[in-house]
Homo-oligomer: A and B are copies of this chain.
Amino acid sequence: MKAAIFRGKKHIELGQRPDPTVQETTDAVVRVVRGCVCGSDLWYYRGINHHKVGSIGHEYVGVVEAVGEDVKNLAVGDFVIAPFTYNDGTCPACRAGFESNCEHGGAFGDGDNDGGQGEKVRAPYADATLVKVPAPADGFTDAQLASFTALSDVMCTGYHAAVSAGVKQGDTVAVVGDGAVGLSAVLAAKLLGAGRIIALSRHADRQALAKEFGASDIIAERGDDAVRAVLGLTDGAGVDAALECVGTDQSIETAAGIVRAGGMIGAVGVPLYEKFDYKTLFWKNIGIKGGVAPAHHYIPELLQHVLDGTINPGRVFDYSTDLDHITDAYAAMDERRAIKSLLTISQP
């Protein structure tokens, strides 16, 4: 089958991988309908984070093509959303609703496991991992397919930031980061009832989408200037919650600087910070919670909101191509011409 192959820094190419088959009785094989490129893929592409040579892409939706004999809840032909990590569904972390910390879990497209930037994927623990989407008689729209794909990672990750920070009705929330996750965090804060949402963004296209997603205020400043601007908007008090969707020293320090005494940071940016010291939060009674989003836990509720039209997280995709043009999909994001690239790999 055709699949994107990560070769190293700035080197993605279309290649071949063996067609996946059912190997364990709990496996399913999924024909990928939509895949996409994640901000974290871009970090591998740029050489900031290490990625093994091989398969890549952890976000995908598709159609079940084969199932192992112990798969009970899925059948060939089912349309499914894959969370970006697979999980056994039975370990203590899974039972606690943190499937991304599953003892026997792993990630798709990690160099070895099949990736979502390819024609097919072997999905382990299929019953516990994949979420079935009820098929309407008249098929899914392209917008729905894009939103389902956003549920594979970015929307759940943005939601995880907001949930981890305990965002509730009426809260004032700031979102640090205007990538696809940050924009999804704006949408998540809105969904959870935030009364005021301050998006930190300096790009016109992202500012526009942040507003569409529910941002009430936009702050274009960065660093100390951003802190001053947010405090200025909140009578010097700071926000109830800051959603940290970047993971650098500057972004986490900005988050720490804009939260009120007793507030929360929801942290989902892959942490590359080196200088950040929790003790600075202690003295302000600020809490921090987050991590790798348990997408499987959130997909059912967010899917319902997509299906009823409440949210349209697929709007983060502003560039679309196919698997043959995988290098363009990365280049568009690398050159900031795109927020996030969608890959049309097959049709439902």
Contacts and interface: CB of A to CB of B under 8 A. Distances in A.
A260 B261 CA distance: 26
Contact of A92 (B235, B279, B282, B288): B235
Interface string A250-263: 00000000001111
A287 B285 contact: no
Work out how many copies of this chain go into the complex.
2
A290 B294 contact: no
Nearest to A165: B287
Contacts of A262: 93, 96-98, 101, 294
Residue of A97, A278, A290, A294 with most chain B CB atoms under a 10 A cut-off: A278
Interface in A287-339: 287-292, 294
A93 B261 contact: yes
A290 B285 contact: yes
Interface string A231-265: 00001111000000000000000000000111110
A261 B92 contact: yes
Given A261-B98, A262-B97, A278-B276, A236 B287 contact: no
A267 interface: yes
A129 interface: no
A333 B35 CA distance: 63
A287 B287 contact: yes
Contact of A291 (B235, B238, B282, B289): B282
A202 interface: no
A284 interface: yes
Interface string A98-139: 101100000000000000000000000000000000000000
A201 interface: no
Bin chain A's interface residue count: 35 or more
Nearest to A103: B236
B289 A284 contact: no
B291 A101 contact: no
A256 to B, nearest CB: 11
A341 interface: no
Interface string A63-79: 00000000000000000
A164 interface: yes
Given A271-B282, A285-B291, A290-B285, A261 B96 contact: yes
8 contacts: A92-B238, A93-B260, A100-B285, A264-B289, A271-B278, A283-B291, A285-B294, A287-B287
